[in-house]
Amino acid sequence: MKIGFIGLGNVGGKLCGSLLRNGCDVMVHDLSPESVSEKVAAGAKSGESPANMMQHCDAVITCLPSPASSAAVLEQMLPHITAGKIWMEMSTTDADEVKRIGGLVTEAGGAAVDCPVSGGCHRADTGNISIYAGCDRETFERILPLLTVMGRRVLHTGPLGSASVLKVMTNYLATANLLTLCEALTVMKANGMDLATTFHAISISSGTSFVHETESQLILSGARDVNFTMDLVQKDIGLFQKLADAQGIDLEISPLLIDMIKDGQNRYGERAQSDRMIERLEEATGLDIRAPGFPSELVDDEPEERGYEVRPAH
């Protein structure tokens, strides 16, 4: 299968790297010539344009920063979609929008999949990230070999759009966890607790989580660069709030998270790293929420393994 990959940013570049590392036939495209050159040096072919890639590839993956970006790219590819072609949207996006533009793909005779990832850039780099896939079962079976190269755990979530609904939910939970960890670490420091001890106390307790095991380390080291920016957080939690609004559900925590991230953006910049949210509390309290012995960069130390499908019990 010939694969096109459009969008070689923090996540996309790493997912594409997994395909290349495992010998897949890949064409690439990005607005950054440097990113394209890097992948070409690793064995990819330059795709030149989205239209050219859809003409020459069996499946084209997009991993882009916004629904508008994906729609603009798909508009270029649409005239070249024919029976058997597959569009795979790996961005975190709006479920209604992915269904709308995915419908254009199916009308042209192709197949559409929303397949966002979850688990952090460091796991995207090793092929150990998790992937959701929303599409019909026949299409899922066709792309499963690709997904198990890019990810460790692959979940077929149902029809097109279902993966995007679940993904914004997970990012909402991750954001809530990040902000509560910022408060927890600050309160412990104010009460005289050693922060390294605090980290391990959380790690072995019912309060632990993936966010704690990763982002708490970057907060404590002072690096505060998780490769995920506040504008992306704001997009994702805004999409979650949209899901609630569409069903008439009045949420209490979600609007507060949106306001807190907005305050962080106002202080540190629209595209500041999300784990810099700790600095709001450092400024308010005068405390330094750092400790020695923590890494400045996350590295996935699990060996790369071929992925597998996760099958829920019904």
Number of structural domains the chain divides into: 2
pLDDT at 314 over 80: no
**Dihedral angle over CA of 143, 146, 152, 157, nearest 10:** -20
Do 277 and 259 meet the contact criterion of CB atoms below 8 Å apart?
no
Rounded Cα distance, 78 and 108, in Å:
8
Output the pLDDT for position 65. Answer: 86
Q: Is residue 301 part of a domain?
A: no
Q: Are residues 94 and 197 in the same domain?
A: no
- CA-wise closest residue to 26 among 6, 49, 55: 6
Distance CA 310, CA 290 (A): 38
Residue 304, pLDDT score: 86
Same domain, residue pair 238 and 153: no
**What's the DSSP call for residue 79?**
G
State the CB neighbour count (10 A cutoff) for residue 57.
23
Pick the range with the lowest mean pLDDT from 119-128, 191-200, 284-293: 119-128
pLDDT band of 92, cuts 50, 70, 90: confident
Q: Which two tokens stand for residue 162?
A: 């279902």
User: In this predicted structure, what is the pLDDT of residue 253?
Assistant: 98
Residue 298 has pLDDT above 80, yes or no: yes
User: Is the domain of 80 the same as that of 223?
Assistant: no
Beta pairing class for 2-6 and 25-29 = parallel
Residues 47 and 155 in one domain: yes
Using the 3D structure, point to which of 161, 183, 217 is the last residue of a domain. 161
In this structure, are 101 and 177 located in the same domain? no
The model's pLDDT over 19-61, given as tens digits with 9 standing for 90+, comes to 999 999 999 999 999 999 999 999 999 999 999 999 999 999 9
Could you tell me if residue 76 is inside a domain?
yes
Residue 202, pLDDT above cutoff 80: yes
Chain segment 163-176, per-residue pLDDT in tens = 999 999 999 999 99
314 located within any domain? no
**Helix residue ranges per DSSP H, 33-161:** 33-41, 50-56, 67-77, 95-107, 121-124, 137-150
CATH at residue 94: 3.40.50.720
Q: Do 171 and 155 fall into the same domain?
A: no
Q: What share of the chain is helix, strand, coil (3-state, %, to 5)?
A: 55, 15, 35
* 3-class DSSP state of 23: coil
pLDDT tens track for 114-153? 999 999 889 998 999 999 999 999 999 999 999 999 999 9
Residue 38 tokens read as 């890097």
Residues 39 and 149 in one domain: yes
Distance of CA 185 to the CA centre of its chain: 25
> Would 54 be classed as within a structural domain?
yes
Residues 157 and 171 in one domain: no
- CATH number, domain of 188, equals 1.10.1040.10
Alpha helices in 42-79 (DSSP H): 50-56, 67-77
Amino acid 303: pLDDT: 86
**Of 8-17, 106-115, 160-169, 299-308, the least confident:** 299-308
Query: Which tokens go with 251?
Result: 């949420």
Greatest CA separation found in the chain? 65
In what helix (H) or strand (E) does residue 61 lie, and over which residues does it extend? strand 59-62
Averaged pLDDT for residues 208-218: 96
As a whole number of angstroms, the distance between CA 259 and CA 76 comes to: 36
Closest CA to 154 of 123, 122, 117: 117
Sole residue written with tokens 């380390």: 217
145: containing domain: 2-161
Question: Could you tell me the pTM of the whole model?
Answer: 0.94
- Same domain? 69 vs 9: yes
| pLDDT at res. 284 | 98
Question: Across the chain, what does the average pLDDT equal?
Answer: 96
Name 309's Cβ contacts closer than 8 Å, sequence gap at least 6. Answer: 144, 148, 154, 155, 156
